[in-house]
Structure 1
Amino acid sequence: MAGTVASRNGAFVAALLYIAWLNLAGGEGGQSPVYYNFLMIAAMSLVLFRVVLRNPPDNILRKTGCQAMLLVGLALQIKYSAVFEGVFLGIFLLWSDWRAGNPLNAILRDGFLWCLLALVPTLAVAGFYYADGHGQDWLFANADSIFLRGTRTAATLRDNKLRMLSITLPLIIPAVAGCWWGLKSAVAEKSTVMAFRYLILWAVSACVGVILFGGWYTHYALPLLPPLTLLCAPLWDVPNGGRVCLVLLTACGVVMGRKDIHKHTQQHGNRATLAQLTTVMSQPIGCTFVYQGPVILYDVLPWCGLTNHPFPGHFNEFAERNATGMDPHEEMERILAASPLYVTTEEPAWSEENLAIRSQLYAVLKSRYHEVYRRRQSRSGAFLVVYKLDNRKP
């Protein structure tokens, strides 16, 4: 794709740049955009090569739109935040239909078909849940809950937004420079200009999605990486330093990304840490509850289905208190009444924690549990702590 607006070498370096930047944006652990970006790239590339760079006949345009929007629909089933890029692609296809001189009824027919195909995966999943008697559960989890989410503190949101800006700005600046040079040198090549405009609009639509979803987590910036790194590719062809800048940018991404991974390993642990935890929490084997800590413990230790809300943030995050479909106080009481043998937590409380739930948990931990493991999580003084139930025979 980058080769449509840059030389082959510039396109290759831009591809490396995308991989390097995943680590900087928190994607090394496999956040959902790491996976749906692939589907969006596939959909965008179909339209780029078959529609933007050509004047296809109606049947090719319609077929390409069907394939691309079905890919968008699959991306939506990984995470609905892909909707903004999907809407852009749908509008672009409709505009392409209109630009081809097709009558209004044909455009409306194509638009309906493309929208339907984008919704098919979601409708299929929803139909499965409704047929199984869990339609309302599906609707709550996929739609209602996002509007019931609370807000984080202004300080936390500001820090997260600044972090996201620090990640994307080093790509935005060379992308703007590359676009300026590419458009300037490609005035006579209509197809290249169209490709530039298409990729720029893609970047804008991804940016709109990031802005509307807010600065909750650093990995929310991941959808910006494909279009921005594509637009960095023409920097290679800018004389007097363009190649050096692009190579240095990629090298910095690799070095800083490795630094972030090392930091995350120190903070969250590695394979050796997991082995230590598994050993400690297997003497004897018993039910596990992760209030705070690595949820991978649920994959390697018995957790006995203590709750249908295993994600720790459902309990410990204040902003999630009304957005999960359960009362965290009642659910915590039910879990603790089951007397899990091990409970993992972090100390001290973090800035966005639901302190009422924490107090409820620690009242029981102090009376019925004792500490069996403690690991420093970071230089800030946070610890991962494991508590074990008192007087429990194997």
Structure 2
Amino acid sequence: MAEGAFGISPLLLLLLAAVALRASTFGDPNVGGDETFYQTVGIAMHHGAVPYVDVWDRKPWGLFFLFYLITGISSAPAGYQLIATGFAAATAWIIGRIAIRWTDRQGALLAGLAYLVFLIPFQGYGGQSPVFYNLFIATAALLVLRATPGLRNGDVDWRSHLAMLLAGIAITMKTTAFFEAAFLGLWCSTALLTAPWAKRPPGRTIVAWALLGAAPALLIAAGYALAGYWSIYCTAMVTSNFTKSPDLTSSAIRFAIMLSRMAPLLIVAVLSLPETPGNRRSFMLLWLLAAFVGVASVPHFFMHYGLPVLVPVSVAAAAFLGRKWLGPIAFMVMAWFALHDSQVLDFDHARRSQAAFDELTQAIRDHDDGGPLFVFDGPHQLYTMTDKPFPTPLVFTAHLGHLMERDVSHLSTLGEVKRVLAMRPSTIIAAPQPRQGPPNLETDNLVRAYFHAHCRRVARVDTPDWLNESIIDVWADCRTGKTASVLP
């Protein structure tokens, strides 16, 4: 069936579905630690912060630049949440446009809806990085499929070049997208090399594809090298990823949970494969393999790590979902499994979260004597919400308090904590007990000894996010010595 059969009307339906599934998160300042960190960095970049230098993490620069662009439009949480909703709907639409090449309108639409539904149990209800870069990979896959017939005849046009560039951009948002990008490049190369004749030398074209795919990452790396930050950048992008060892037992448990949550969609995808035309089936199987290799390459198996796999699995499920009666029934069963224990209708959650942050920020402002704010074990977005500068590049609190993150950056974790405490912070944010597990007791004991000796607790706030309910303490008046009054 022609792609034109899956046009604007399905896009509008998918957009409405995306809004309905995610509306309960809109305006929530604490949806999840990862995306609120990306937003925090994006806001800080508008004030001159340089990722990895002024605020450290191992995520690729393209992700922070995307949030820089988003926070240039709006620094409110709803800003990135609404844009993420648009990305999710657009990805679902591209999934439908891929699938309609071998199924009908029903199958294509249900495949797109399946993607939106399964984003929820995989923590893709907000602004996790795959919610954004999945669109680039899906669009690249669509362009590759469009270009393949021509490549097999030796014809190379703009679609294959654009596909490689989009895949390269995806890599600058998440390094593990490399495996899907490599698959798309190898698919195009194989198609061109098996052509009976070509209008241009295949070798040059393949090199051009490789350069286009690598260009975004190479330009970013060159920028850091020219600015004199190559060592810091290399540590963030390369060496830090090898110093964080997974806990095999917990990783195995998370992997089992990931598979169990994806099982309904995987089953439908397997049932679809016999109905998928042979020339498309091999593409789908290889794409699925590349996506799973990307997940396995970082074997921590946190639930959101499965988000990239949802794109090819949803496409693969389309043929079965196109069956007249069985397709809608299968979709409803899958949707129930995905959503029956979710919080998609908990509209009170955002209100409670906002109230908690109002209380936290007010407590910080009421006791601000001009000294530094140190968020040791709490929501990092409190820096930007209170207009306070970062006292250390280790802003993401796991880099301070998680044992697995000790000394993974170019900075000494203990050394940074000692340096910040030597600045005599006026306010320290920490949970009553370490939230990171296993905790870095070197830093944790040092900070707790400091605020018990020099500060008083002025607020204790129940602070929900979409995975946990944390108690966060505000320890203030640290520079005045008012330690007599401590709240119960």
Q: TM-score, normalised by structure 1?
A: 0.88
* Equivalent of residue 211 in structure 1, options 289, 292, 296: 296
Q: Give how far 1:318 is off.
A: 0.9
Q: Which moved more, 1:367-376 or 1:315-324?
A: 367-376
Q: Distance in 1 between matches of 2:139 and 2:212?
A: 16
What per-residue deviation string (whole Å, max 9, x for no partner) do you get for residues 328-365 of structure 1? 11100111111222221223224322122111111111
Partner of 1:201: 286
Tell whether the 8 Å contact from 2:172 to 2:216 is kept in structure 1 after alignment: yes
**Equivalent residue runs for 1:150-299 within 5 Å:** 151-180=245-274, 182-183=275-276, 192-238=277-323, 241-258=326-343, 262=346, 265=349, 270-285=353-368, 286=370, 287-299=372-384
* Equivalent of residue 147 in structure 1, options 219, 227, 242: 242
Q: Give how far 1:134 is off.
A: 1.2
Partner of 1:390: 478
State the one-letter code of the partner of 1:246: F
SS at 1:281 equivalent: helix
Q: Give how far 1:123 is off.
A: 1.3
Q: Give how far 1:102 is off.
A: 4.3
Partner of 1:335: 420
Partner of 2:67: none
The alignment covers a number of residue pairs equal to 380
* Equivalent of residue 34 in structure 1, options 117, 125, 131: 131
Partner of 2:451: 365
1:58 equivalenced with 2:154 (yes/no): yes
Tell whether the 8 Å contact from 2:273 to 2:319 is kept in structure 1 after alignment: yes
SS at 1:365 equivalent: helix
State the one-letter code of the partner of 1:208: V
Q: Give how far 1:55 is off.
A: 6.0
Tell whether the 8 Å contact from 1:288 to 1:301 is kept in structure 2 after alignment: no
Q: Give how far 1:388 is off.
A: 1.3
RMSD (Å) for aligned C-alpha atoms = 2.8
Partner of 2:99: 2
Q: Distance in 1 between matches of 2:250 and 2:449?
A: 28
SS at 1:247 equivalent: helix
Shift in CA distance, 102/314, structure 1 to aligned 2, threshold 3 Å: farther
Q: Give how far 1:199 is off.
A: 2.0
What per-residue deviation string (whole Å, max 9, x for no partner) do you get for residues 8-43 of structure 1? 012111111111211211122311111111110111
Q: Which moved more, 1:384-393 or 1:371-380?
A: 371-380
1:314 equivalenced with 2:399 (yes/no): yes
What per-residue deviation string (whole Å, max 9, x for no partner) do you get for residues 154-174 of structure 1? 343233222322222221111
Structure with the larger helix share: 1
Tell whether the 8 Å contact from 2:295 to 2:301 is kept in structure 1 after alignment: no
State the one-letter code of the partner of 2:353: N
Q: Which moved more, 1:164-173 or 1:325-334?
A: 164-173
Tell whether the 8 Å contact from 1:13 to 1:250 is kept in structure 2 after alignment: no
Shift in CA distance, 139/380, structure 1 to aligned 2, threshold 3 Å: closer
Shift in CA distance, 289/166, structure 1 to aligned 2, threshold 3 Å: farther
Partner of 1:375: 461
Q: Distance in 1 between matches of 2:480 and 2:301?
A: 40
Partner of 1:189: none
Q: Give how far 1:244 is off.
A: 0.6
Tell whether the 8 Å contact from 2:106 to 2:322 is kept in structure 1 after alignment: no
Partner of 2:112: 15
Q: Which moved more, 1:64-73 or 1:161-170?
A: 161-170
What per-residue deviation string (whole Å, max 9, x for no partner) do you get for residues 262-300 of structure 1? 59959x962222112111111033532221222221221
SS at 1:295 equivalent: coil
State the one-letter code of the partner of 1:157: S
State the one-letter code of the partner of 2:449: A
Partner of 2:216: 121
Q: Distance in 2 between matches of 1:269 and 1:227?
A: 36
Q: Distance in 2 between matches of 1:216 and 1:236?
A: 28
Q: Distance in 2 between matches of 1:62 and 1:273?
A: 54
Shift in CA distance, 302/56, structure 1 to aligned 2, threshold 3 Å: same
Tell whether the 8 Å contact from 1:207 to 1:224 is kept in structure 2 after alignment: yes
Structure 2's unaligned 5+ residue stretches are: 1-97, 482-488
Q: Distance in 1 between matches of 2:196 and 2:374?
A: 62
Q: Distance in 1 between matches of 2:116 and 2:264?
A: 15
Q: TM-score, normalised by structure 2?
A: 0.72
Q: Give how far 1:87 is off.
A: 0.9
Q: Distance in 2 between matches of 1:160 and 1:144?
A: 25
Partner of 1:76: 171
SS at 2:238 equivalent: helix
State the one-letter code of the partner of 2:404: A
Q: Distance in 1 between matches of 2:194 and 2:99?
A: 25
Shift in CA distance, 153/93, structure 1 to aligned 2, threshold 3 Å: same
1:356 equivalenced with 2:442 (yes/no): yes
Tell whether the 8 Å contact from 1:153 to 1:352 is kept in structure 2 after alignment: no
Q: Distance in 2 between matches of 1:331 and 1:64?
A: 48
